[in-house]
Amino acid sequence: MRSTFMGLETNKRGLFTQQTALYTTGHNISNANTLGYSRQRVNMQATPGFPTAGLNQPTYPGHLGTGVEAGSIQRIRDQFIDRQYRQETNKLGYWDSAAKSIAQMEDIMAEPSEFGINQSFTDFWKAMEDVIDNPKDSAARQVLISKGKSIADSFNYMDRQLKQIQGNIGNEISVSTDKVNSILKQIAAINKQIQEVEPSGYVPNDLYDARDSLVDELNEYIPVSISLQKTGGLAKDVAEGSMTITYVPGDGSTPIKLVDGKEYAALATMDTNNQRVDGEVDEQATGGFYNFSEIKISAIGEPPGDPATGPYTIDYSQMDQGKGSLRALIDAYGHSGGQGTYPEMLANLDKLANEFITKFNDVHKAGFGLDNSTGLDFFSGTTARDFKVVITDPKQVAVSDTTGEEGNNQNMRKLAELQTQAQANLKQGTFQSYYKSLVGDLAVKGQEAERSAFNSATLHLQISSNRDSVSSVSLDEEMTNMITFQQAYNANARMITVVDETLDKIINGMGRVGL
Amino acid sequence: MRVTQSMLSSNMLRNLNTSYSKMSKYQNMLDSGSKISRPSDDPVVAVKGMGYRIDLDKNQQYQRNIRDANTWLDTTDESLDQVGAALKRVKELIIQAATDTTTTDDRQKINAEMQQIKEQLRDIANTKVGENYIFSGTHTNLPLYTDSTGPQNPAITPAGGQKSIDINIFDGISMNVNTPGADLFKDIDGFMTNINTLLQSGAPAAEIGDTLGLQTTSGGTTIPGLDGIYENTLTVRADVGARQNRVELMENRLGIQEVNVTKQLSLNEDTDYAKTITDMVTQDSIHQAALSVGAKIIQQTLVDFIR
């Protein structure tokens, strides 16, 4: 026999459940603009019917429903889209960062322009031609020396500026590594909270969202793979459990755990001198930096040990190409014995400077100045950094190829011809065409990075849109739900009134015949 | 597909962003007048632009060199013209002196004029362009004659005195702009000295007349007759004239090349204003449309209709 008050109980459950749904709708609306928030849904389920199975169950002409309960509150999210999103985040992080570091280099090279190295070469050549026209004019000679200085200055300036930016990139590597470490720590902390809550049967949707946002952010820096471990106890089916994050080296060697439960690892980016890459000048004489050699990773722990002592390492070849901004920064900063955008450009400028200095001096030494001086160097130095003009007296510029002939310009003509001569050490190009090819290469790289960044951003937006399609809050939908739940709540309340009236009839109206 | 407000707004944001970056690019193109602001905008344009700049600068420098060459050659031509005129006068005077009716007094007057002409010729031999003596070979700071009577400047070495001064007038093309005049002026000066001696010594008219055509030997060196010297001067002047022609041709070529390269440079990297402004206006109207549509879509939700 059913209870007298069963109707009240059924509808009370209805009231509570609709209220839960209504509040969840409110939560969704409140978080409509929260980054990384996934809309939540109350999974309603009917409560077991009456009577329940049992030995002394009453005979009953059917299974009478007993109402509804909120089985769980679940966030709506698609793990596959998350995966795609993070893969695209890797690429976007890489190309964005690569495009930025190349753009900075382009800003310094400032080509085509009326003041770059290209122009200073041309200006120097023009000054030489003026000296050829007026070999004994000391003003023309003085101009030549000044233009020589301006070539040297251009090289010096470029060397310093490029190294300064290389230093900034080194600093960014260090900051990025710190950021990765901080994210790993935060994920482990969220894991810990989740592990504490889930066994009691709760589903901490908002913690999952926070954790997923952190994983998204982590993927901007380095590509990681994730897996979920179910928590024990009374954990619900929809509970996601603790997240394990591993770094999978590109060469197929053993994956390295970065986060496991509440324990996490720390990373350190090391240079060839086994010091952390920090953007501080390593070689004072040249203002240069040691290349990146490897990322060192500590064993997981809470807190982890000093990453600088290992035990795990990932060298450049083990990193995934084109994934994550850390890799892009390392590609720009330099790795594996002087490879990388900045060290290569610096080395090429050094090569150009050295070749120019040597070739120019060789010819200059053979000539004679107005004061019959001979065998003098015009330039000194072997690199872009120590490129200098050593001639100070205009008389000592070796214009003539014979002593004592003031009007003789033969040696200067040979010097001017250097400008158009192919240099065996510079890929058979002239000084200027070699420089032109450097700028051309850089431009092509920059264009590729720029385009790839744009394409990645487009794809990223597409996937982000797919993810929003699944997870983001639609106000129209929530409003519709709100009305649905509100009306359901009202209807339940009405049912309670009906039951109340029937009870009133039984209690106050029965047995009072004739009254 | 389920579409939500945040999708609309992030889509719109991205599109507006793209639209802004396009407009900023057009604005940059219009402001700077250049299609590209950094090499990666268009590597080919950038590298070509660098090449054209070199070409243009070279062209301008060669034109400047040619102006110098012209100054040298024009001055040389002018000087040789004066030499020719002086020699013509010498010839007249010799013919006058070689007439038997000319008195000794007259010959002395002729001789005085000859003296002046001799000095004038020495002055011509010391002609300068700027600070450069043009007939002294590569010894451009040394005059051929240091005084009005002595021999040629001993500081000018035979090798240096004959050397040409070359100026580059194009890639790999050079031209000697000077005319070593030591030999020519030596002959002229020797001849003049000879005449002076003859006139002073009161030589017979026939002997004076002979100097026009005959070689004379004086102090071991052979001096050609006046006609021979005149011939030599003309030959040298013809050479200068030929070089002037060459320079002129090259000047014309460089002028044409400058126009071409400037045009190429402009075609390569200058903004096409008509096109860019049209693009900009089009982009602007798209932008306006995006903004107004965005504003309409985003503000409306069911919230606005539930009362």
Predicted ipTM of the assembly:
0.81
**Chain B residue with the nearest C-alpha to that of A104:** B38
The chain-wide mean pLDDT, for chain B, equals 87
Question: What is the tally of helices (H) and strands (E) in chain A?
Answer: 10, 11
Q: Are A1 and A58 in contact (CB under 8 A)?
A: yes
Contact between A406 and B141 using a beta-carbon 8 Å cutoff = yes
B220 or B304, which is more confident? Answer: B304
Confidence of residue B217 (pLDDT cuts 50, 70, 90): low
Q: What does the pLDDT read at residue B104?
A: 83
Q: Are A55 and A512 in contact (CB under 8 A)?
A: no
Rounded Cα gap, residues B134 and B75, in angstroms: 8
**Chain B residue with the nearest C-alpha to that of A419:** B171
Q: Looking at CA atoms only, how far is residue B85 from chain A in angstroms?
A: 29
Q: What does the pLDDT read at residue B215?
A: 67
Q: Looking at CA atoms only, how far is residue B304 from chain A in angstroms?
A: 10
Tell me the residue ranges of DSSP E strands in A77-221: none
Q: Looking at CA atoms only, how far is residue B17 from chain A in angstroms?
A: 12
Per-residue pLDDT of B264-282, as tens digits, reads: 999 998 989 999 999 999 9
Contact between B303 and A479 using a beta-carbon 8 Å cutoff = yes
Answer yes or no: is pLDDT of B37 > 90. Answer: no
Rounded Cα gap, residues B137 and B135, in angstroms: 6
Rounded Cα gap, residues B284 and B297, in angstroms: 20
Rounded Cα gap, residues B232 and B236, in angstroms: 6
Rounded Cα gap, residues A381 and A357, in angstroms: 7
Rounded Cα gap, residues B138 and A400, in angstroms: 9
Q: Are A255 and A225 in contact (CB under 8 A)?
A: yes
Answer yes or no: is pLDDT of B219 > 70. Answer: no
Q: Looking at CA atoms only, how far is residue B105 from chain A in angstroms?
A: 46
Confidence of residue B201 (pLDDT cuts 50, 70, 90): confident
Query: Which residues in chain A land under pLDDT 50?
Result: none
Q: What does the pLDDT read at residue A446?
A: 92
Q: Kind and range of the H or E element at A46?
A: strand A40-46
Contacts of A32-37 spanning 24+ positions with Cβ under 8 A = A32/A472, A32/A473, A32/A475, A32/A478, A32/B5, A32/B6, A33/B6, A34/A209, A35/A213, A36/A209, A36/A210, A36/A212, A36/A213, A36/A216, A37/A206, A37/A209, A37/A471, A37/A472, A37/A473
Mean pLDDT (whole number) for B53-78: 92
Mean pLDDT (whole number) for B18-45: 89
Determine the distance from the C-alpha atom of residue B144 to the mean position of all C-alpha atoms in its chain, rounded to a whole number. Answer: 26
Per-residue pLDDT of A297-331, as tens digits, reads: 999 988 888 888 878 999 898 898 889 999 999 99
Tokens representing A48 are 């077991």
Nearest CB among A111, A118, A472 relative to B7 is that of A472
Q: Kind and range of the H or E element at A266?
A: none
Measured between beta carbons, the chain B residues lying within 8 angstroms of A416 are: 168
Specify the pTM.
0.83
Confidence of residue B240 (pLDDT cuts 50, 70, 90): very high
Among A121, A406, A433, the strongest candidate for a mutation testing the B interface, having the largest count of B CBs within 10 A, is A406
Confidence of residue B216 (pLDDT cuts 50, 70, 90): low
